[in-house]
Amino acid sequence: MVAPRADLDWPHLPFAYQKTDFNLRYTFRDGRWDAGVLTGDETLPIHIAATCLHYGQEAFEGLKVFESRQGEALVFRLDENARRMAGSCRKILMEPPPEALFIEAVERVVRANRRFIPPYGSGASLYVRPLVIGSGPRVGVAPADEYMLVVFVTPVGPYFKTGFKPMPLVVEEEVDRAAPLGVGDVKVGGNYAAGMRASYGAKQRGYSEVLYLDAKEKQYIDESGPANFYGISPEGQYVTPASGSILPSITNKCLITLAEQMGLRPERRPVHVEEIFTFTEAGCCGTAAVITPVASITWGDRKVTYGDGQTPGPHSTALYRRLTAIQAGDAPDEWGWVRRIPLD
Ligand SMILES: *Cc1c(COP(=O)(O)O)cnc(C)c1O
């Protein structure tokens, strides 16, 4: 590490916003992206008629930076996040930042905030949050003519308070997060607004999150609020839902590769909700959630508990260890998932 590290309680960080030194903003105006500015200002001056404020022209990403044992800054799957951000923008008719610009932006803001990269082995990471917003004014419904790419970072601990400890889920039957031909497959803020009352309500009833069903038939598992879902079958399959209304998790994609290598047979297919009673373990996966094992799933007046409801299952544990070891540079990166960010 080049700079002295910020004085934070690294092993006990929450998953919450923490002020850092800089954020970065690029503007797309008159048909081109500008050179971007680093600033310490945490607010955005924004036109009152900006499309992001009225019509939800907003997309975001989330990725993590880890310090390796050797003190390098390692970012996980930056290329995939760059590609997905462009896809999200295109789907809601926003100007997609070129992938090279996205990559440059992430590296630049991480370098500027390097004293906030949590130390190796602390269990924390530097979460990077890029967002694109329609910043140009419109009153009639139409795409904006001006966009901003904003990137901030915040050091974080585990997303679910339990960390790598099983959490209870509940099947959501009253609320749909996304429709089959809607925007559930891209990372836009509107999907979170749609699901907020479901997540919030579940937490009030003592569950960590909901499990959404497909909006059309209410028969198949879609995903959890901020994370994809998988179950392990007694035959040793890693089963994860195929659905047009779930966000294709990059973590899940990596886990499919790892599961296969570890002798679990991955299957991505529609997963009937009744199958929750057949799995031997289940988990939620995503950049923020990493792998969070599922303790139990409540579905109406039925409930399934995995194992003793307290101890993560063996397959989830093995997948978690393998994934986090690759992210920290402790296990060989056979697929080029990790990229080193030059810090000076
Ligand atoms: C971001 C996100 C995920 C997880 O995706 P990763 O690429 O693994 O971080 C899952 N579901 C939803 C709805 C998301 O927004």
Mutational pocket test of ligand 1: of 175, 230, 287, the residue with most ligand atoms within 8 Å of the beta carbon: 287
Beta-bridged to residue 73, according to DSSP, are 67, 341
Residue range 10-156, CATH number = 3.30.470.10
Among 187, 216, 218, 253, the one annotated catalytic: 187
- In the chain, the largest separation of any two C-alpha atoms, in whole Å, equals 60
Comma-separated ranges of CATH 3.20.10.10 domains in the chain: 167-327
Which atom number of ligand 1 is nearest to the Cα of residue 191? 13
CA of 274 to the centre of ligand 1 (A): 24
pLDDT, tens digit (0-9, with 9 covering 90-100), for 17-67: 999 999 999 999 999 999 999 999 999 999 999 999 999 999 999 999 999
Please report the pLDDT score of residue 1 as a whole number: 58
Please report the pLDDT score of residue 2 as a whole number: 54
Mutational pocket test of ligand 1: of 65, 131, 186, 247, the residue with most ligand atoms within 8 Å of the beta carbon: 247
Q: Tell me: pLDDT of 144 over 80.
A: yes
CA of 249 to the centre of ligand 1 (A): 5
Beta-bridged to residue 156, according to DSSP, are 125
pLDDT, tens digit (0-9, with 9 covering 90-100), for 103-116: 999 999 999 999 99
Which atom number of ligand 1 is nearest to the Cα of residue 84? 7
* DSSP state at residue 137: B
Which atom number of ligand 1 is nearest to the Cα of residue 77? 7
CATH 3.30.1330.100 fits 167-327, yes or no: no
Which stretches within the chain are classed as H helix?
A: 51-54, 78-91, 99-112, 189-204, 250-261, 314-327
pLDDT, tens digit (0-9, with 9 covering 90-100), for 63-104: 999 999 999 999 999 999 999 999 999 999 999 999 999 999
CA separation for the pair 316, 251 (Å, rounded): 13
CA of 250 to the centre of ligand 1 (A): 7
pTM of the predicted structure, to 2 decimals: 0.97
Average pLDDT across the chain, whole number: 96
Pull the structure tokens for residue 175: 């609320």
pLDDT, tens digit (0-9, with 9 covering 90-100), for 275-333: 999 999 999 999 999 999 999 999 999 999 999 999 999 999 999 999 999 999 999 99
Which atom number of ligand 1 is nearest to the Cα of residue 62? 9
- Annotated catalytic, 187? yes
List the one residue out of 195, 241, 250 whose CA is nearest residue 84.
Answer: 250
Residues contacting ligand 1 via CB (< 6 Å): 62, 187, 223, 226-228, 247, 249-252, 286-287
Question: What's the alpha-carbon Rg for the chain, to the nearest Å?
Answer: 20
Comma-separated ranges of CATH 3.30.470.10 domains in the chain: 10-156
**Phi-psi group of 63: left, alpha or beta (phi > 0 → left; psi -120 to 50 → alpha; rest → beta):** beta
